[in-house]
Amino acid sequence: MRKQKVSTAVIRRLPRYYRHLNDLYRAGVERISSNALGKSMGLTASQIRQDLSCFGEFGQQGYGYNVESLRSEVSDILGMNRGHTAVVLGAGNLGRALIENFHFERSGVILAAAFDIDRSIVGRELSGVQVYHADQLEEYLSLHPASIGVLTVPGSAAPRIAERLVGAGVRGLWNFTNIELNVKAPGLVVEDVHFADSLLALSYMISEEP
């Protein structure tokens, strides 16, 4: 149970916790101390305990954490068992790469459909995902509600598509368009993914004098 408003920094670390715990679980590790978990993640034991305390009491002093149980708890916190459904807007190069290579289901998300305006793509299936014409978006979502919209459309089309998604009840936008969306709606969450920003940050860090 969440005890307080959780900081963005803690939220950003939660997927890392899940990933490490999942690796430990798959390796057959039954329990781990906060010291050992922190060492594997490059964090301190106190940071581990402080982060997890935002959501409740986990682990026992002198015993550590039960890996399977903590993995399940973090999965619940991340909403991986809530049946979130996503649709992809833009089935071009990037959209297709996500559809064919990104394992949405491993994050507890069902990828239900994709939308595009290219007649050579519309009507096809990509890795089992049907591609519909963008004009069918509202009709489709009225029959098959989705909570997440994945935007891989050109930046010029992104604001209009985002507004349509939000108007159709989508509550989360995973935005790969490299523009900042100025869409406002109660409860709406926008997660921007800027590949260029990440690359430029890397460029800066390797360009620094040793």
Residues in the annotated binding site for NAD(+): 90-95
**Can you give the three-state secondary structure of the chain, one letter per residue?**
CCCCCCCHHHHHHHHHHHHHHHHHHHCCCCEECHHHHHHHHCCCHHHHHHHHHCCCCCCECCCEEEHHHHHHHHHHHCCCCCCEEEEEECCCHHHHHHHHHCCHHHHCEEEEEEEECCCCCCCCEECCEEEEEHHHHHHHHHHCCCCEEEECCCHHHHHHHHHHHHHCCCCEEEECCCCCCCCCCCCCEEEECCHHHHHHHHHHHHHCCC
Instruction: State how far the Cα of 81 lies from the Cα of 77, in Å rounded to an integer.
Output: 9
Could you list the residues known to form a binding site, using ranges.
Answer: 90-95
Instruction: Return the closest-CA partner of residue 165 out of 123, 194, 124, 134.
Output: 134
